[in-house]
């Protein structure tokens, strides 16, 4: 069963389904070694990877296993990143959260604002009980984003990634529906920028 990708709006952002026009800025983002230094795969070196990513977005939507949104800044219409849920399991009511943002957008609260909107959609529209996220243990900024959203650090996956010869650990975070409801009412976009 298909899982239509939502269009969501926040105070400063438009979260929308990807289009073919996103291929170039997506490649620029995913080929930036600085942005992907904590990623679980190396930066892209082939522009065709954008088309494969976009095809995967359509496929997971059609399969009902996830949804990824392009993130556009409302003030100037620029593509600044993406966020998505993958591994959606309707029986367990669970999914995994992931995101990537252009380095020029860092430090403005866009990741938190985006993820909050996606999580609100996930818990309300999909009736999720649990969302999981992982972050490289060196990526303290991403861990802070998850903690602001109410995620709890549940453990460490030791030496689970090897990227460009570097072995790294990952933190595993979990957010339960009951914890989301307890914190969502207190959360505002302006507090978490």
34-87 pLDDT, tens digit each: 999 999 889 999 999 999 999 999 999 999 999 999 999 999 999 999 999 999
How many C-beta atoms lie closer than 10 Å to residue 112's C-beta? 21
User: What does the pLDDT read at residue 189?
Assistant: 44
- Is the model's pTM score more than 0.85? yes
* Distance in angstroms (rounded) separating the CA atoms of residues 24 and 84: 19
Local structure of 156: helix, strand or coil: strand
How far from 42 is each of 31, 36, 88, 170, CA to CA, in Å? 8, 7, 25, 16
For the cut 90, the answer to whether the pLDDT of residue 165 exceeds it is no
* Distance in angstroms (rounded) separating the CA atoms of residues 191 and 170: 27
DSSP 8-state code for residue 35: T
State phi, psi for 120 to the nearest 5 degrees. -60, -45
For the cut 90, the answer to whether the pLDDT of residue 1 exceeds it is no
* Residue tagged 């996220």 (tokens): 133
How many C-beta atoms lie closer than 10 Å to residue 72's C-beta? 18
* Residue tagged 């959360």 (tokens): 187
User: What does the pLDDT read at residue 190?
Assistant: 43
Residues 6+ apart with CB under 8 A from 5: 16, 17, 18, 57, 61, 67, 68, 69
Q: pLDDT higher for 1 or 176?
A: 176
Confidence of residue 193 (pLDDT cuts 50, 70, 90): very low
How far from 16 is each of 10, 28, 47, 70, 94, CA to CA, in Å? 11, 19, 22, 5, 22
User: What does the pLDDT read at residue 40?
Assistant: 87
């Amino acid at each position: 069963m298909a899982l239509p990708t939502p269009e969501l709006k926040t105070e400063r952002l438009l979260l929308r389904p990807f289009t073919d026009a996103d291929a170039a800025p997506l490649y620029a983002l995913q080929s930036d070694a600085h942005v992907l230094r904590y990623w679980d795969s190396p930066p892209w070196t082939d522009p065709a990877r954008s088309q494969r990513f976009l095809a995967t977005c359509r496929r997971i939507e059609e399969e009902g296993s996830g949804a990824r949104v392009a993130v556009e800044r409302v003030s100037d219409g620029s593509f600044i990143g993406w966020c998505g849920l993958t591994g959606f399991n309707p029986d367990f009511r669970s999914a995994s959260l992931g995101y990537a943002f252009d380095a020029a957008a860092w430090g403005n609260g866009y990741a938190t604002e985006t993820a909050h909107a996606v999580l609100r959609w996930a818990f309300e529209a999909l009736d999720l009980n649990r969302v999981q996220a992982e972050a490289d243990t060196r990526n303290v900024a991403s861990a802070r984003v998850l903690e602001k959203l109410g995620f709890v650090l549940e453990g460490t996956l030791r030496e689970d990634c090897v990227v460009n010869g570097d072995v790294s650990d990952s933190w595993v975070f979990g957010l339960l529906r009951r914890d989301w409801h307890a914190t969502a009412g207190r959360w505002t976009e302006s507090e978490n920028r």
